[in-house]
Structure 1
Amino acid sequence: MARRLPCPPAPGSLEAYATGFDDLLSTLAQRRGFCEYLAGLLLPRDRNRTLTCLAGAEPVVGAQHASVQRLQFFLSESAWDYEQVNARRLELLLTDPATAPHPGGVLVIDDSGDREDGKATAHIGRQWLGRLGRTDNGIVTVTTCWADENLYYPLYAVPYSPAHHFPKGKSDPGFRTKLQIAAELARTAKAAGVAFRAVAADCAYGDQDGFRRQLDATGLPFVMALKPGHGTWAYGKDVCTPVHAAHSLTWTDPSAPGTGPPPSAPSATDTPRPGGPPTRPLAGGDPTESTVRAGGGARSPDRRGLPRRRRTELDRVTRRRRCSHQAGTRPTRRTGDSRRPFLRRRRHHRDRNRRAGRRARLHRGVRPRHG
């Protein structure tokens, strides 16, 4: 067996950390590229998102420098298993008392998008990029991060592949949505022995009922943000919005999370909802049939099992409620006022097209029409 050649040492205490991955890197070039990559990420530099800055070379001009090309080959062409390297990294984090996760931390799920040009890059596509706040051509990566009051570190990162990368699109067996990837990463973290109190995510994930059901089926508690228009539904005396539930509990701090009485259900006909008037009973029906949405608004109850005539009546009442103005929710605006700018634009385009047609006919020597 050939003797392993020594690798140039990494700066400072990074050498002791890098030697823990030597058995996963078979060649000298891989071990050297790994040390240079770690140094580029951790050293205090202005930027560490480009290869030139990771290698310590001058931007643009130093793109052909030997250290930059060596790092490029290590990241894109060299045959080393990133899953094994990440598993070893997590093993070191879980065994170190300073970074070992504890039940008081949380598992944060999020995605990050970076803009990229072209169409040949793997996982690239036109999609929503949260970092830029718009839809653009780029790559989105779903990540999980463990965090507590003192520190945080990433656990897993999986790129999302848009449907056009698969032969059958969204129906392809290999296609996975970002929600499916996030749920799988949460289950992987639990199976790896990462202790956490709950899974936390923003409204992009918290508003998805299917995603929350997957976490609940796995036995993972979660704390999710919801969009302002997200609704929760109940019938009759069980009607209770999240606002009423929060106000009924006396939470002070984590040591005393609150032992108040169960939330009192507001009446579907008497108690005003936050931001809206009392819910009126449906025409010809029981007042307790109304459903209340968190944040205001009412919609028809479950129509299953009702006669066709009754369903038609419920649909008519629901449409009338959606189109009518509710006092205290938004300022009154007449329908005619909202259409005036549109009508002005339409008349402007019509007159402009007529004038253009007349000029074209005059140019061809055709007598213009009148009227």
Structure 2
Amino acid sequence: MDIYPWLLSYDNVLIAFRVFSQRIDRKTLLGNGTACTVYVKRSAKRLPSTINQMLQEFRKDGLNAPLNAFNILEITENSNARRLSHTVHRVLKYRLKSPDVDITFYPHRDDSAIQRPPPVFELECGPEHITLQYLLGTVDIPEAGYDDNARLINEWLHQLGLDATPELQKKIGLEQVMVWVGDQLTVDRLRNLARFRAEDENSFERLDWLVSPPGWLHICMAFANSIHKQHIGSRTSKGRGLSAAFSALGRKGLEKTKTQGPFFHDLDETLHIIAEAQFRELWLLVGGVSNLADLQKIVSEHASSTALAMNRAKKQVDELKEQSIMFLRDVLPYILLRTDLIPEMLYRFMLELLQGLNREWPPELRCVFICSAVDWIS
């Protein structure tokens, strides 16, 4: 902690103890515990010694000035220009990566117009920037409730040697900030524990030093499930719903959302396939594009809210085209998951993240969160 910034992640783990010899005193057991990993960011800037005080001041100011609808729309508007360049490049990439195009023989393949646009937030690479991972000892404490999470906080601090003396606890409570991440259930439990302890005697017991961003895996899953719910359609009805696409692709088990098994992996892969197929179809429709400005027409006229309004303004609405426009408009932010997706996803925990990034976290801490987010979903 005193040398490099680091963050900690933990989650429940199920370990099966199987017995193959038939004895009375040997039974198969299913162990329910918790595993923890510490991630060390050697390339990140060291947090100042005043970061804890800065965090409390920013939190106080943020509570007095929460984000409103206008602020969120303003954030979205400011990010549109950055995301548009990545959207246009994605549409171009669908054409360049198609089987009938051999980019190696294209004389202008090194032209800047077809190169990937600058990243929104690029992680540095190289041996000196590798994220180090250290596993803590797995413990026989199930992450089942608030009491268990309180015990886990003490356990991880003990394994890290951060609870040895009252003086060390005082230093943590007054001078340091720790970033603990996990799935959304873990984050909610940690935040609620801090609320329950809001009137405790000192900052260490109040968990003023603990900050938890949203669970990024659950954010991605919630986004995919939202697209599934809005565009599933019916397998028997005429249209371009996801159900008909699942049937055409032979993808089974995707009709209903699930939280267990490979459902999210299969849905994520299938959404990319469907989106690519529909954009290739738009290439055939538009055709003859001579510059990147024409590529923007594919987005603005066939994959945006503006295109949806234009289609509905016609005397005879093309319902199949309307379904395609709505799906492509919604799936593009999902595909561009590593750009400015946050304003598009107005879930409760995303509002909390926006509030933190724009109101309650010091700039030094925002950088740590963004690095961990990009690293987590990359």
Q: Tell me if both proteins adopt one fold, taking TM over 0.5 as the criterion.
A: no
Question: TM-score with structure 1 length normalisation?
Answer: 0.20
**Greater fraction helix:** 2
Question: TM-score with structure 2 length normalisation?
Answer: 0.20
Which has the higher relative contact order, 1 or 2, with Cα contacts under 8 A spaced 6 or more apart? Answer: 2
